[in-house]
Each structure stands twice: as structure tokens, then as C-alpha cells.
Amino acid sequence: MNEKTREVGFLLVLFSWLSDQASGQIVYSLTEEVKLGTPVGNIAKDVNLVIKELGARGFQIVSGPNKHYFGVNSDTGFLYVKERVDREELCPDSAACSVHLEAVVNRPLQLYRVKINVLDINDNSPVFPVSHMALNITEVIVSGGTRFPVESAYDPDVGSNSLRTYKLSHNEYFAIELQTNTDKTLSPELVLQKVLDREKEATIALELTAIDGGTPPRSGTLTIIINVLDANDNAPVFNQSVYKVSVVENVPFGTVITQLHATDLDEGLNGDVLYSFSNRNPQNIFDTFEIDPRTGEVMVKGRVDYEEYRIFEIRVQAADRGSMPTTGHCKLLVEVLDVNDNPPEITVTSLLSPVKEDAGKGTVVALMTVSDKDRGTNGAVRCQLLSRSPFKLQSSYQNYYSLILDGTLDREKDSFFNVTLLVEDEGTPPLSTTRVIMVQVSDVNDNAPRFPESEVHVYLKENSPVGGHIYTVSAADPDLNENSQVNYALPQVTVNGALLTSLFNVNSLTGAIHSMQSFDYEKVKTFQFQVQATDSGVPPLSSNVTVNVFILDENDNTGYFVAKIRAVDADSGYNALLSYHIAEPKGSNLFRIGTSNGEIRTKRRMSDNDLKTHPLLILVSDNGEPSLSATVSIDVVVVEIKCHRTDGSLSRYSAPVITTHPDGSWSYSKSTQQYDVCFSSDTLKSDVRFLLAEFFWIRFLALHCFLDSSSAQIVYSVSEEVDKGTVIGNIAKDLSLNIQELEARMFQIVTKKNKYFEVNTKTGVIVVAERIDREHLCMNSQKCSLHLEAITHNPLNMYRVEVNVLDVNDNAPSFPVTTQVLNITEHAFPGERYPLPKAYDPDIGSNSVKNYKLSPNEHFSVEVQSGGEQSVSAELVLQKPLDREKQPVIKLLLTAVDGGKPQRSGTLQVIVNVIDVNDNTPIFSTSLFKVQLHENVPLQTSVIKVNATDLDAGVNGEIIYSLISHGSDKALDIFIINPLTGEITVNGNVDFEDSSAFELHVEAKDRGPTPRATHCKILIEIIDENDNAPEISVTSLVSTLREDAKIGTAVALITVTDKDAGKNSILHCYITHSLPFKLQLSYKNYYSLVVDGPMDRESASQYN
């Protein structure tokens, strides 16, 4: 190949070094948005060219933006605006904006560098990426610095025309605070200044204004809607703290008695109220009533009985359905109204039956108590007799009646009476009860035996055999038992000069009359005597019948012989007729003997006052002439023997009794026995023994009598638990009785219950006999009384005695449990109340529970509520907000104190578990994290691990991490965060040339029911890697060059660039091989290829 025609090329090699050589350039400044044709500068003058040369030398702009913004007027040499210049379009992300041009003239070829600085004007307003944004913020977030990032505005203008500040519309909750980013831009944040309250303001509308620094300033606005999320910060509140309602007893099951209503200002589940009875109510509340959990209707569940409970005190609570429920409390007082559902009752407290038929008018037969469990007019009763009888009712005391004799009794006509009592209340309609009392009439000896005839005639043949039966008399007695047992006897009279008993003998039991001798008509023709019939009553009654004996003659006189009568053996003849008498003691009032049969009988019942041994001397004589006699001594001894008697109608007692005797007298004894004494044919062979029963059966009869129907009762007072023997009063003096009368009139105290009292009959005082415990006797009753009856005899009187038992402070208050646990959320507001179990003190009055005291603490006080008589309860009142993070458990000691002297007390340990609420926001260890990251790192490379802590417990303290948008979402495409660990990893291509830094905004949010969130910022600086080769751009080229071109002639304009940064972007450009050209640095990274030696076309027609 010919050397002249060979092609010669040159190689540009770029080195990473910067030449110190730099050529100057022409710089102009131009405001953007000027009119087309606006001159920029006289470029011809500035490059020292004559205007005429511009056209001749082909002056032109050969390098610059793709869009031809500028042109040269060849007539004037001015550079002018050819197209609209918009700085924001030319340099969207740059603060400084320049347009670089290269001007070229030929003949010779020369290059001029021109820089035009485009100046910004305030032609753009700040713009937010959205016009509206919403923030959901929980109302319980504590004020004082909690921050909430909001959207940033963008202003394409620069310098003073760019975004300079933000302003927030006036409000009482938020302020605006600006954060300066690494790129000097501003990020606005809302700062909470005052605690939000959804119940007052559920939505807050704010207007954020972004303002630039231009003159006049431009602005853009963003509407921020704050949705205040509900937190369970309101407890349900009843519209009344105490409800009062009346309900009639016996209402049907399911009856609604009232409806309670509580409101909760919260919303959703936090405001959804459920009603229930407090567990601190006694069991009878749950048995009697129920409440609808949704409607608050209180309904009857069980039997409502006024007589059982007159008032119910129900504690009701209303709880919301929040995750940490809050409760409100009220008290429901249910007054039970009485209805006339109980018939009156009749109680016979004592009954005297049988009643002696000779009882006097006014004799108390029975004592009755009438009662009605109802109250008011329903419990007012009246009592009357329905049946006709010789009795009447007499009111002796309130609701106490006496059945007394109002006429005469005759057992022989009426042996018993069925007395019908009617008791009726005054209710509407009235209820009544009837009771029949059988009053038996006991016999008294008021009827003498009666013979059917007043006299009888008996005809007896003379010379009849001795002992022959001549007649039988018979008398009847309508009385009963002993009073009707008739004994016949002949009077001790003389008939015709002889004792009647020597002539006749009458059988005492049968009334059979026998002759004691033979009669001679010639001597005696007739006899007249009386036979006496006597009953066995006390005193005995008798009657007589006249017996006329007529002797019938027989032919018996043929002469007679008179013989001496001598005594014969007692076993034969008239001399064998014996008569018996008690010789000693004379006039015995206890024993009598049958004169003919020798039977010894008692005249009356024995008593404790009788001797245990009774010596008797019995005289036995015959009817001989002269009469012979003999004596025998008999000792009647009373001894014990075990005897048993079965009588189902009787009761066994071991108490003093009042005994009525057959003769109508009354006596008092500590014990009473009845003896059955039997004699046999061998009686005289041994002592007669009367046996004392080991125990005895008696019919116990307590008579309740009053001085008169209007007499008041005697009232004493005594404190419980006094010593035995303590004197409570002088009952003898109070009853106006002499001391001597107490024993004589057999004074005694009768009571239905234990024998708590007794009377000293020697002093007349009534004393305590047994331990008296008021709580055992009367339990919860405010008044405690014992009712006694004092009885005297001769005459029989009864006095009512009431002993009021006074309480002493012998019991300390006690709680039903030793420990009470309360679970209270920490966001409970001061003033909220929490009922506590009531202490119970069986004492009454001032000795009962009067006050509660709470151990010193900073959170709670105790408030005492009075629920009426003997009902004092305590409520904890929150005084200072709780903070679980500071004190999760609070231990208190509640002391119940009574009013006694000295005071007694009981304690209850109260443990308050502070339940966590979501009142703490997660906190990052720092608000700004900085980290460096090499570009082109592999996916899933860990960038940084952020950490936030939350002092709350449970889900309230569990944190979820997330990346949030903040203007551009580009970073969200490249990075991701683990929601549980907070570790940020690479998820896309990290290219320094695309973005040299990233700003991430991380949100840490807890998992509470109303989550709370905090934010931090992460600045990621991307470290450049030399991953981009330099680029060469030839912006102007003279393809044909004269071979005689002078050294320095420009051949081409060359621009070199490298997308990398730092040392990786420092370039060096040079030519390889030996060529007649050289590179000349005209501006940073701008080179000119110029002729550097002679050229010979014939030797080289082209160069590469």
C-alpha cells in the first residue's frame, strides 16, 4: 500500500486522572421563562469576532442540549433565546442549572465554550403529593412530644424560591415541627400537644400549608383529617347511683321490676355495656332476681316473700366489652310490699283441761296468742268465739287472749265443750283461721248418792236365822269415779234399847242388809232405821233411806228357857262379827278403815309434805258381850320403786307444776306422785309399803294469768354475758308482794325457753341462772327480749315479765374472706369506685361496724356507704391514676372498726392487680439511624436492624415494624423490613449511579387493641463501586482536513464522562500511536483534538 494513501487512525485512551489544564469559557446568565428572542449576550464581541466574519466563517453552535434553546443573530452577533427555557425542565433535581454550548468558526476552525446559567424564578407553588391525608390516632396517647410524620410538599423551584416553611391551621391539639433532611429539604411532623378525647371531638380537620421563599410567596395546602380512635377510657356510668323500686310480694316469676341504664361514651365494643349482679351480693339475691345482661332489666327469678325479706340491697355492675373491660356500679334497693297472703295463726300457749265443773266465773281456761306474718292492716287481727259455750274471750295484752269461764259448768250435763275460735285479719280480702279447742269438764263431788225411794218396807219372819239377808238398798251417784263410788253404812244409833249395828249389818259395797240376831215378834213387832249412802268424794256427800222392818209372827211360843250367853270362839256365831277402828293417831286426816271389812284407805293424795313413815294402831273388836278386842301396829312406809307407765298423750317433765286436788284446792310442789295402795288378806302380816316412783309422768299445765286485762308488764334490762347470780331486779317489790308471801303463795317463774332466770324467794330478787348470749338468742334482731311469766297462788295470779338483753361489744367485725383481689386497668380515672366485701359484726347498735379505714397509700381512699340500720359498706375510690409500669401490684389493708369501747376491729387484705392498657408508645433507641451500603450488594443483604421497646405488657408491648412511604416509593422497592425483628434487608438493585442515598422512614407499632406507633429515620449512604466504564462523546468533527492545516487547528470536540463517583469517576484522556494530533483539555472532561504536526495527504489520506 502506498504510504500516502494508507489510513491512519488514533485511539483515545481514558485514564483516571484529572488534567490541571482548563481553558476559559464565556458565561452568560438568563432568567428562565423569558420571551423568545430575548438576547442573552453579544457572543461575537465576546469571542473577538467582527460581525462580518460571522457569516463568512460559518459561525455556528455545534454542541448543547438536544433541544435548540438558543440561536445566533449573524447580523448583530447576539446570542438569543430561540425556545422556551424552563429551568425545572432542564435541571429538575439540581439547584444550579446551566446550559453548555460550543460555538465553532471555520477558516480557521476554532472552538468556543459557552455556559449559560439559567436563573430560577418563583414560577412554581409547593405541591403535596396528595390533597388529603388521614391519620388514625388513639385518644389515650400521652401528650408532650408524640410525633406523627405527614406528607412533605415539593417545590421544583430552587434557592429562595424553594419550599421554606410549613404552617399549621390553628388548633388546640397539635403543633408542627420541621425536620431537616440530608438533602436540606424539610419534613413536617405533627406533634401532639394535648391529650385527645374522642368523646369530645372524634374528628379533627387540620390544614397544613407549605410556603416557599419567593416574592410574593407561593403556597400549597394539605388537608389532614385526624381520626381519633376510641380507647376504652370511659367506664360505664349509671344514670343513678342508687335505684329504689317497690315490688309486691309473690309476683310471678319473670316479672320485670325495673330497668337499669348505664352509658359508656366509648364506641364499638368499648361502649357496648353488659349488666350483671356483683359477686359480692349474698346468695339470696341470685336466688330471687336476675338481670338481662343486654337490656339491664331486673326480673324476678324466685319467690319474693315479704315475711322472709322485706328489702333487698342489690349491687349491680355494668361492664363494657373492651379488651380491658371497665366497670361502673350502682345499688338497687328493692322494697317488698306486703300483700295479705298469710292467714292469721292461733297459738294456744296454755290450756287448762279438764276444767273443774265448780270452777268460778272468770276462771282462766286457756291462754292464746294470735299472730299474722303480714304487716299493717294485713297483719291486724281480731279474735272471736263462734260456738255457743259458757266461755268468753278477753284480751289480756296485745294479740294475747284469755279464754275465761263466763257461766256455770255441770259435768253431768256437758262433759266437754268444743270451743271454736275465729281469728281474722283486716286485709282485703280478709283471711281467717279457725281452731277448735276441746275443753273437758272434770267432775267434782257435787251430787250426793240418791236412793230411788225415801223409805222402804221390809218384812221379816220372827226367829229367822242370824245373818239372813233381809233387803238390799241401792243408791246412784251421777258423779264420776270416786265421787260416784257409794258406801253404805248404818248410823250408830240405838233402836229399842239396842245398838242398831247389833241388830243389823249392811254390806258397805252392795247395800245388802243382814240380820245380826233372830227377832221375836212377841217382843218386837217393828223396827225403823236409816241406811246412809256415802260417796268417796272429798268431802264425801251422803243421803239416807228409811228402812221399816216389820216382824211377822209365827207360832213359836210354847214356853221358853232363859240361858246365860257366854262368849264363844270368834270364828262362830255373833261373836265372830268384828269391827275395825283406827286407834292411833286419832282423827287421822290421811287414812280411814272400813269398820266391817278392815280395809285401810287413804283419804287424800300424798304430797312431799307428808311423812315418809306413818305408824297406825288398829283396834279390832267383836260384838260379843262383853266385847273383846285386839290391836295391831302397822307402819306405812313410802319407798322408791321403779315403775313405768305408758301414756302417749302425756309428756315427761322435771319442772315445778301447779296441781289441782279433788277437793278443789291448789298446791305447788317440785314433784308430784300418785300412789296406788292395795291391801290383801295378808296385809296385817307385814308393813304396808308405799313406793316412790323413780321418775314420774305428769300432765304439765302452765297457766298464764294477768292481774287484769289492762295491766302493763314488768320490764327489766340486763347486759349479755353477765355472771351467773347477777341481780336484775327485785321482782317481789315490783309486784308489791311481801317476802313472806313468796313461799307461801308458791311464787315461780315460767318460761318457754331455757331457764335463764330464777327468783330468790328469801330476798325477792330475780337473778341470772344461765349464760345469756344475745347473739345466740336474737341473732340480727335489733331488740332482744326474753318473756317470762311469774305465777302466784292463793289466789292464782300471773304477771308478765320482759327482760331486755342489752348488747355488749363481745364480737369483733369479720370479713367473709381474708383476701380480696381487684383487677383494675391502669387507665381507670380518679373518682372511680370499687365495692368491697362488707364486714359482719353480730353486735348491734354502737357495737356494730361503724367505719372502715384503709392503710396509707398514694392511689386509693376508702369511702363508707350507709345502707340503713346496721348496714355499712366500703368502696375503694381511686385518687391517683395507676401506672402498671411503675407498680403492677398494690397491696392494701382494709380495717373494719366497730363503735364499742374499747373498739374491736377486723381486717381484709386487698390486692389490686393493675391491668395493663396500651398507654405506652414504642420508643426507638434513636430517632435517626445512619448506615453505609455498597452498591450492587446481593439481595437479602442485611442493612441495619432497628430496635424499639414498649413498656406495656402482652400484645400491648409486642412491636410490629414497617416501612412507610414518604414522598417517593423508590426506596420501598429496594428495601424491606422484617416486621418482627426490625431487620432491614436489600430487596432490589442498589445502584449508586441511580441513587447515592436513601432515606427510609420506619414505623414501630404495637399490637394493642388501639395500636400506638412511633417513627424513626434511616439514612442509607450508598458507597460507589467502579462498575461503569468511561464514555467518549464526539460532539463536533471536521471530517476533511486540509493537509496544509496549521498546527493548533481544531479537528474535533470530545467529551468524556463516567457515571461513577469519586476516584472512580476521575478520567484521563490521551491518544495512542504517533499521530500529527494531540488532545487539548479545554474544560473539565471536555477535550479538543487539534493538529500537532505537519500532514501530507500523499503520505496519509486519513487517520483513525
Q: For residues 1014-1033, give the mean pLDDT.
A: 90
Longest alpha-carbon distance in the chain: 242
**Chain-wide mean pLDDT for the chain?**
83
- Which of these three, 229, 263, 282, is where a domain ends? 229
Amino acid 687: pLDDT:
40
pLDDT at 639 over 80: no
Q: Is residue 678 part of a domain?
A: no
* pLDDT class of 598 with cuts at 50, 70, 90: confident
* pLDDT class of 14 with cuts at 50, 70, 90: very low
* pLDDT class of 633 with cuts at 50, 70, 90: confident
For 795-819, what is each residue's pLDDT tens digit? Answer: 667 788 889 999 899 999 999 999 9
Amino acid 66: pLDDT:
64
Percent of the chain past pLDDT 70, that is, above it, reads 86
pLDDT at 702 over 60: no
1001 and 1051 both lie in a single domain: no
Amino acid 974: pLDDT:
93
DSSP 3-state of 129 = coil
Q: Are strands 797-806 and 714-719 parallel, antiparallel or unpaired?
A: parallel
Q: For residues 720-725, give the mean pLDDT.
A: 91
Give me the number of domains the chain comprises: 8
pLDDT at 748 over 90: no
Q: Are 828 and 881 in contact (CB under 8 A)?
A: yes
Percent of the chain past pLDDT 90, that is, above it, reads 41
Give the separation between CA 576 and CA 570, rounded to whole angstroms. Answer: 4
196 and 314 both lie in a single domain: no
Q: Is residue 848 part of a domain?
A: yes
pLDDT, greater one: 938 or 1062: 938
253 and 324 both lie in a single domain: yes
Among residues 329, 333, 331, 332, the alpha carbon closest in space to that of 834 is found at 329
Amino acid 259: pLDDT:
96
147 and 178 both lie in a single domain: yes
Give the separation between CA 429 and CA 341, rounded to whole angstroms. Answer: 10
Task: Please provide the DSSP assignment of 7-38 as one string.
Answer: E---EEEEES---S-----EEEEEETTPPTT-
Q: Where are the beta strands (DSSP E) in 793-919?
A: 797-806, 819-825, 833-835, 849-854, 860-866, 872-878, 889-898, 905-915
Q: Is residue 1097 part of a domain?
A: no
Q: Are 1035 and 1056 in contact (CB under 8 A)?
A: no
pLDDT, greater one: 675 or 26: 26
Residue partners of 1040: CB distance under 8 A and separation at least 6: none
Amino acid 456: pLDDT:
94
Q: Is residue 401 part of a domain?
A: yes
Q: For residues 1085-1094, give the mean pLDDT.
A: 84
Amino acid 684: pLDDT:
40
Q: Is residue 247 part of a domain?
A: yes
DSSP 3-state of 161 = helix
Q: How far is CA 685 from the centre of its chain?
A: 85
618 and 539 both lie in a single domain: yes
User: Which residue is it, cell 292492716?
Assistant: 377
Q: Are 551 and 496 in contact (CB under 8 A)?
A: no
601 and 479 both lie in a single domain: yes
The partner residues of 402 in beta bridges, in order of sequence, read 367, 394
- CA separation, residue 873 to residues 155, 195, 246, 331, 863 (Å): 69, 36, 22, 12, 8
Q: Are 892 and 854 in contact (CB under 8 A)?
A: yes
* pLDDT class of 1048 with cuts at 50, 70, 90: confident
* pLDDT class of 999 with cuts at 50, 70, 90: confident
Q: For residues 637-653, give the mean pLDDT.
A: 41
For 221-271, what is each residue's pLDDT tens digit? Answer: 999 999 998 888 888 999 999 999 999 999 999 999 999 999 999 999 999
Q: For residues 148-161, give the mean pLDDT.
A: 90
Amino acid 607: pLDDT:
66
473 and 617 both lie in a single domain: yes
Ramachandran region, residue 956 (left: φ > 0; alpha: ψ -120 to 50; beta: rest):
alpha
Q: Are 121 and 32 in contact (CB under 8 A)?
A: yes
Give the separation between CA 705 and CA 828, rounded to whole angstroms. Answer: 68
Backbone phi and psi for residue 318, each to the nearest 5 degrees, phi listed first: -115, 120
Which triple of cell numbers denotes residue 357?
265443773
Which triple of cell numbers denotes residue 375?
304487716
Q: For residues 818-843, give the mean pLDDT.
A: 89
Among residues 356, 364, 361, the alpha carbon closest in space to that of 446 is found at 356
Q: Are strands 942-945 and 163-168 parallel, antiparallel or unpaired?
A: unpaired
10 Å CB burial of residue 47 (0-12, 13-18, 19+) is middle
489 and 603 both lie in a single domain: yes
Can you give 699-754 as a three-state secondary structure string? CCCCCCCCCCCCCCCEEEEEECCCCCCCEEEEHHHHCCCCHHHHHHCCCEEECCCC
937 and 885 both lie in a single domain: no
pLDDT, greater one: 149 or 219: 219
Which triple of cell numbers denotes residue 914?
393493675
pLDDT at 558 over 60: no
Amino acid 218: pLDDT:
95
Amino acid 281: pLDDT:
87
Among residues 860, 948, 868, 852, the alpha carbon closest in space to that of 911 is found at 860
Which triple of cell numbers denotes residue 644?
313405768
Q: Are 1075 and 1100 in contact (CB under 8 A)?
A: no
Task: Please provide the DSSP assignment of 522-557 as one string.
Answer: TT--EEEEEEEEEESSSS--EEEEEEEEEEEP-S--
User: Which residue is it, cell 315475711?
Assistant: 307
For 398-421, what is each residue's pLDDT tens digit? Answer: 788 888 999 999 998 999 999 999
171 and 259 both lie in a single domain: no
DSSP 3-state of 768 = strand
Q: How many other CB atoms are there within 10 angstroms of residue 723's CB atom?
A: 8
pLDDT at 710 over 70: no
Q: For residues 481-495, give the mean pLDDT.
A: 91
1018 and 1070 both lie in a single domain: no
pLDDT at 3 over 70: no
10 Å CB burial of residue 748 (0-12, 13-18, 19+) is buried
* pLDDT class of 54 with cuts at 50, 70, 90: confident
Q: pTM here?
A: 0.58
Q: For residues 142-163, give the mean pLDDT.
A: 85
Query: CATH number for the domain including 967?
Result: 2.60.40.60
Q: Are 806 and 719 in contact (CB under 8 A)?
A: yes
- CA separation, residue 759 to residues 285, 704, 725, 727, 752 (Å): 47, 18, 10, 10, 16
pLDDT at 1100 over 90: no
Q: Is residue 868 part of a domain?
A: yes
For 943-992, what is each residue's pLDDT tens digit? Answer: 999 999 999 998 999 999 999 876 566 888 999 999 999 999 999 999 99
Tell me the residue type at 647.
D
* pLDDT class of 669 with cuts at 50, 70, 90: very low
Q: Is residue 685 part of a domain?
A: no
309 and 267 both lie in a single domain: yes
Which triple of cell numbers denotes residue 736?
308489791
* pLDDT class of 293 with cuts at 50, 70, 90: very high
Give the separation between CA 216 and CA 156, rounded to whole angstroms. Answer: 16
Can you give 424-492 as a three-state secondary structure string? EECCCCCCEEEEEEEEEEECCCCCCCECCCCEEEEEEECCCCCCCEEEECCCECCCCHHHHCEEEECCC
Q: Are strands 174-180 and 219-229 parallel, antiparallel or unpaired?
A: unpaired
Backbone phi and psi for residue 954, each to the nearest 5 degrees, phi listed first: 65, -145
Q: For residues 873-898, give the mean pLDDT.
A: 93
Give the separation between CA 62 and CA 75, rounded to whole angstroms. Answer: 19
For 90-139, what is each residue's pLDDT tens digit? Answer: 888 778 899 888 888 877 767 788 999 999 999 999 999 899 999 988 88
- Which of these three, 198, 229, 260, is where a domain ends? 229
Q: For residues 351-359, give the mean pLDDT.
A: 85
* pLDDT class of 895 with cuts at 50, 70, 90: very high
Among residues 310, 291, 304, the alpha carbon closest in space to that of 238 is found at 291
Backbone phi and psi for residue 906, each to the nearest 5 degrees, phi listed first: -140, 155
Q: What kind and span of H or E run contains 1031?
A: strand 1031-1037
Q: Is residue 684 part of a domain?
A: no
* pLDDT class of 147 with cuts at 50, 70, 90: confident
Q: What kind and span of H or E run contains 46?
A: helix 43-46
* pLDDT class of 869 with cuts at 50, 70, 90: low
Give the separation between CA 975 and CA 68, rounded to whole angstroms. Answer: 40
pLDDT at 672 over 50: no
- Which of these three, 284, 316, 337, is where a domain ends? 337
pLDDT at 788 over 90: no
Range of the domain at 833: 819-915
Q: Are 887 and 914 in contact (CB under 8 A)?
A: yes
pLDDT at 650 over 60: no
